[in-house]
Amino acid sequence: MNPNLVDHTFYVAWAITACVLALLFGLLHLIAVIGAMRKGYRPSQLVMLVCSIIVLAAIPACLFGWPGNIDALLMAIGGGGVCGAAFYNGRSAAEKAGDKSLFHLSHHIVRLAFVLVLVMNFIRV
């Protein structure tokens, strides 16, 4: 088998995998923020909504090969905004309820690590 064909197949599979993971991340946070906005509006939810859409915009940027690292930049901006808004929402909800045990720092660390992995993959792809 031609080694160039194997490398190209791996590259395409890697790009599709990164895009599917970004799609899941963006859609799950979009669904979560729409559900939260139905209960009551907070400005940080608008940030999460817009940043979820920016994450989803990184997918066609990756698949269609927009110039530069636009896809990684969109993923970093969108993912960072989602992480920041989620952190703020979690912290303010815990303070509002008066129960610090409602804030789960490990959940936010995992979310941020996932965003960083996606950004690194978009840079590589």
CA distances from 41 to 35, 48, 49, 61, 88 (A): 10, 12, 12, 31, 14
pTM as predicted: 0.88
How far is the C-alpha of 38 from the C-alpha of 52, rounded, in Å?
17
Closest alpha carbon to 33 in 110, 25, 60: 25
Domain that holds residue 64: 3-124
Q: Is the pLDDT reported for residue 75 higher than 90?
A: yes
Average pLDDT across the chain, whole number? 90
How many domains would you assign to the chain? 1
Q: Is the pLDDT reported for residue 33 higher than 90?
A: yes
